[in-house]
Amino acid sequence: MESRTARPPSGAPSRFRRVAATPAYRQVAEAIEREIIAGRIRPGEPIGTEAQLVSQFGVNRSTVREGIRLLEHSGLVRRDSSRRLWVGLPHYGRLALRMSRALVLHEVTFRELYEASLPMQLATVEAAVERATPETIAQLEENIARTERALGDPSEVAKLDAEFHGLVGKASRNRVLQLAREPSELLVMPTTEMILKRVKEGAPRLLHAHRMYVDAIRRRDKQAGRLWARRHLEDWRKGFERAGKDLDQPIDRIYLEST
């Protein structure tokens, strides 16, 4: 790589802005990224071995590796069992996790979380009512059955609640909506567990809301779907306040340590 910065002679007036020297490892990453984004290399195709990249870019192995790591981290490049390099499809889950972490670090409040979740849940359930297939409805019912059996176990119910909303998201068949909703869901889930531990009637109410949810989806009743999505989330908020918490507090970062 030819580019390094050149410092202007100390005495001379600074006539030029300093050249933005992109480090070699970043040039490597960006070059490969461009090929993928532009679609010239497609997901599932091989990138080549490290040695090949070394000779193509004319840099050292260490430099190539630093660049590759960036792409692996964002999911654009994957390694299979043999550690060979392939173009990958970044998976939502990882991105959503990172977003939720960013939200926690920025100390967003539970009120922001609640306010943003409501419209996204409503939109999701509407789409799910429109497009749910028998298979996903069956999965939802199976989730409800498991929730019934787990009613006494708050953390299990919270996990099943998250799974439930994931299934509704899948039923919505709208990936943009899913990706927008998922980070919030990741933050709501641990709070749900806390609420269920402190508010006894929480779990049965949650189960009932889920039942009505699925019923609305099965009957393709958008209004009922919206109604129960709203009630379900309102229950969450009420339970939150009943548990003695303040909506305007930042989300505790403790909730993310587990992941």
Partner DNA sequence: ACCAATTTGTCCGTATGTATG
Partner DNA sequence: TCATACATACGGACAAATTGG
Question: Which residues form the interface with a second copy (CB under 8 A)?
Answer: 25, 34, 36-39, 43, 62, 65-66, 69-70, 73-75, 89-90, 92, 95, 98-99, 101-106, 108, 112-113, 115-120, 122-123, 127, 174-177, 179-181, 183-184, 253, 256-257
Taking CB under 7 A as the rule, does residue 229 contact DNA? no
32/198 Cα distance (integer angstroms): 51
In one-letter notation, the amino acid at residue 200 is K
Cβ within 8 Å of residue 147, ≥6 positions away: 157, 160, 161, 164, 206, 207, 210
In one-letter notation, the amino acid at residue 132 is A
232/211 Cα distance (integer angstroms): 11
To the nearest whole angstrom, how small is the minimum distance from the Cβ of residue 75 to DNA? 15
104 contacts which partner out of a second copy, DNA, none, CB within 5 to 8 A by kind? a second copy
201 contacts which partner out of a second copy, DNA, none, CB within 5 to 8 A by kind? none
119 contacts which partner out of DNA, a second copy, none, CB within 5 to 8 A by kind? a second copy
SS3 for 49? coil
To the nearest whole angstrom, how small is the minimum distance from the Cβ of residue 170 to a second copy? 13
47/251 Cα distance (integer angstroms): 41
Taking CB under 7 A as the rule, does residue 250 contact DNA? no
To the nearest whole angstrom, how small is the minimum distance from the Cβ of residue 177 to a second copy? 4
Phi, psi of 79 (to 5 degrees): -115, 135
How far is residue 36 from each of residues 47, 80, 107, measured CA to CA in Å? 10, 18, 34
Contact flags string 7-36 toward DNA, x per CB under 7 A = x--xx-----------xxx-----------
149 contacts which partner out of a second copy, DNA, none, CB within 5 to 8 A by kind? none
Within residues 68-127, the interface with DNA by CB under 7 A covers 79-85
Q: Cβ-count burial of 171 within 10 angstroms (0-12 exposed, 13-18 middle, 19+ buried)?
A: buried
74 contacts which partner out of DNA, a second copy, none, CB within 5 to 8 A by kind? a second copy
Question: Is the Cβ of residue 48 or residue 75 nearer to a second copy in the bound state?
Answer: 75
For the four alpha carbons of 19, 23, 26 and 30, in that order, the dihedral sign comes to: positive
Tokens, residue 229: 């999505």
DSSP state of 83: -
Within residues 45-64, the interface with DNA by CB under 7 A covers 49-51, 58-63
Partners of 78 in beta bridges = 86
7 contacts which partner out of DNA, a second copy, none, CB within 5 to 8 A by kind? DNA
Question: Is the Cβ of residue 22 or residue 153 nearer to a second copy in the bound state?
Answer: 22
Phi, psi of 86 (to 5 degrees): -135, 155
Binding-site ranges for DNA (CB under 7 A): 1, 4-7, 10-11, 23-25, 49-51, 58-63, 65-66, 79-85
